[in-house]
Amino acid sequence: MTEQTNNQDPVEHDDATKVLLPYLNTLFWCLREGVIFVDREYSVGAWSQAVETLTGRSTGDAIGQTIRPSLLCLHDMKSGKPVAGEDCPVAACLQSGKIRSGDFRIIGPSGREANVNLTAIPVINDDNIVLGSVILIHDSSVQLDLQRQLKDLHEVSVLDPLTQVANRGELERVLNETISNCEQANDYNASIIICDIDFFKSINDNFNHHIGDLALIAFANQLKKFVRSQDLVCRFGGEEFVILCAQCDVESAIERAEDIRRSLEVTALPMLEGKCITASFGVTQLRPTDSATDFFVRADSALLKAKETGRNRVVAVASPLNDEMNSVKGGSLSGIKWKTEGRRSLIVEEFVTQTPISVLVEKLRGFILEFDAEIRQVKSDFASIEVELEDRKDYSRRGRFRVMFEFCEKEVASEREGMRKMSYIRVMIREAKRGWFSTNCTELAPTLLAEIRRYMMLSEESNQVRVQSAGSPTEGR
């Protein structure tokens, strides 16, 4: 390679290139990619403006220098350590006569950093002799920053910020996608595990909420140890987590849940002073008739049974809640024989709706989570909870209530649709315990009923019978 002229033109001044020289010089100096010319003796013959910017070394200082990784300020991309002389890609190019490329980090004298892709291209004459090398340096920092930002944005949108497992929105997306794939393949070999840390409230009460957060992180990490790459671990809310198991029958899912349960009860957690936590598990397998709600609610029903029967156990449900409720057929609303008396209730109301019971139960579950209600009893057609409600306009007014729900389904005749299935629900609101705020309970009971109706999508039109209201019997509508 010829020596560069005093004005450091990268192109040799001969008759063939005199016309093109100004254009080539302009192109050379304006290229956003860094360009370096090196001869066979490793001597730098040209050093573009872009290289100056990347390395912090001026053209005057670089021309005539021996090309080395240190001259280019090359560092290893992962470790950040300076690239050794024997690992120089330019030397490898000149010695082999082949293109050499790699990703590096340039750390200039001022401390400025840039992630770059460096490519050394051999210059070979007609006699196959290596005359030197052209080095192209592409600054990939902007691209990598954009990729990092997109990755961060994706993680924010799909991950729970505390535990770094999937969030509820991502579960809903993947759950619907899983069911769709199963339907297309006519293969329903997918299961769901819902788990809930036992007595988690006592962790927050006895330690603090920060320790409770650490326990949630430890629990999530434990779950991740027992899943495969195609499975999804999600924090559904609070201390409740979901594992969506692809290509997994219910027997395998039960076994996996048992493995997690046994591991939890023997794993000491430092943040809890060496104590262990336990969890309850509900498991079910996808059925051909399942919607996403049916699939989820069935597993959630199993979880409630696990908690009701003593916690720290795995319960599997093979049939949906609706199948257990099909015994009541025909007759009118007044002909339903409800199990629970409403004599001591502040409010007893009955509703009828076309909404499936599985959806009503899911909505009730949302109410329980939102109001931090305590589950007292759960059966296939009955649920009892305790909840405290404050007057939003006067926080000194509050009451604690026992709320009982009874469910059943009936087939009714319709002129347009023939026989169709309707869901019936009875809501009874009682005072949980007597005290100085008894009057508040009477006044707040209608507000509580309104919140329940809002969560369970029970419109005013669906209210068929009002048996009692605020302690006073009323006529049926």
> Model confidence at 459, in pLDDT bands (50, 70, 90)?
low
Tell me which of 244 and 25 has the higher pLDDT: 244
At residue 18, the pLDDT reads 65
Residue 452 has pLDDT above 70, yes or no: yes
At residue 468, the pLDDT reads 44
At residue 323, the pLDDT reads 36
Least confident range of 25-34, 245-254, 343-352, 453-462: 453-462
pLDDT, mean of residues 368-389:
88
At residue 38, the pLDDT reads 94
Angle, vertex CA 223, rays to CA 221 and CA 228, nearest 5: 110
Domain 21-142 sits in CATH at 3.30.450.20
271 by Cβ neighbours in 10 Å (0-12 / 13-18 / 19+) ranks as: middle
Domain formed by 320-477, architecture: 2-Layer Sandwich (3.30)
Just list the catalytic residues: 239
Residue 79 has pLDDT above 90, yes or no: no
Residue 150 has pLDDT above 60, yes or no: no
At residue 346, the pLDDT reads 84
At residue 469, the pLDDT reads 44
Residue 171 has pLDDT above 80, yes or no: yes
3-state secondary structure of 162: coil
> Model confidence at 395, in pLDDT bands (50, 70, 90)?
low
pLDDT, mean of residues 391-416:
78
pLDDT, mean of residues 421-434:
83
At residue 471, the pLDDT reads 41
Average pLDDT over the chain, rounded to whole?
80
At residue 410, the pLDDT reads 82
> Model confidence at 416, in pLDDT bands (50, 70, 90)?
low
At residue 381, the pLDDT reads 85
pLDDT, mean of residues 112-141:
89
Cα distance between residue 139 and residue 54, in whole Å: 8
At residue 399, the pLDDT reads 85
> Model confidence at 91, in pLDDT bands (50, 70, 90)?
very high
3-state secondary structure of 431: strand
Question: What ranges in 284-376 are assigned the alpha helix state H?
Answer: 292-308, 357-370
Structure confidence by residue, pLDDT tens digits, 221-260: 999 999 988 899 999 988 999 999 988 988 899 999 999 9
Domain residue ranges in the chain: 21-142, 159-319, 320-477
> Model confidence at 317, in pLDDT bands (50, 70, 90)?
confident
Joined together, the tokens standing for residue 349 give 């109301």
> Residues with Cβ < 8 Å from 381, sequence gap 6 or more?
324, 325, 339, 406, 407, 408
Cα distance between residue 303 and residue 257, in whole Å: 12
Cα distance between residue 77 and residue 316, in whole Å: 50
At residue 5, the pLDDT reads 44
Least confident range of 252-256, 272-276, 313-317: 313-317
Tell me which of 95 and 352 has the higher pLDDT: 95
Cα distance between residue 234 and residue 227, in whole Å: 12
> Model confidence at 77, in pLDDT bands (50, 70, 90)?
confident
For residue 394, what are the β-bridge partners?
391
Residue 319 has pLDDT above 60, yes or no: no
> Model confidence at 420, in pLDDT bands (50, 70, 90)?
confident
Cα distance between residue 431 and residue 137, in whole Å: 76
> Model confidence at 93, in pLDDT bands (50, 70, 90)?
very high
pLDDT, mean of residues 389-401:
77
pLDDT, mean of residues 401-425:
79
Least confident range of 331-335, 379-383, 403-407, 409-413: 331-335
Residue 147 has pLDDT above 70, yes or no: no
pLDDT, mean of residues 378-386:
87
At residue 69, the pLDDT reads 92
Cα distance between residue 409 and residue 399, in whole Å: 32
> Model confidence at 404, in pLDDT bands (50, 70, 90)?
very high
Residue 435 has pLDDT above 60, yes or no: no
Structure confidence by residue, pLDDT tens digits, 187-232: 889 999 999 999 999 998 899 999 999 999 999 999 999 998 889 9
Q: Which helix (H) or strand (E) holds 350?
A: strand 347-353
At residue 30, the pLDDT reads 72
AA letter at 258: E
Hey, what CATH class is 159-319 in?
Answer: alpha beta
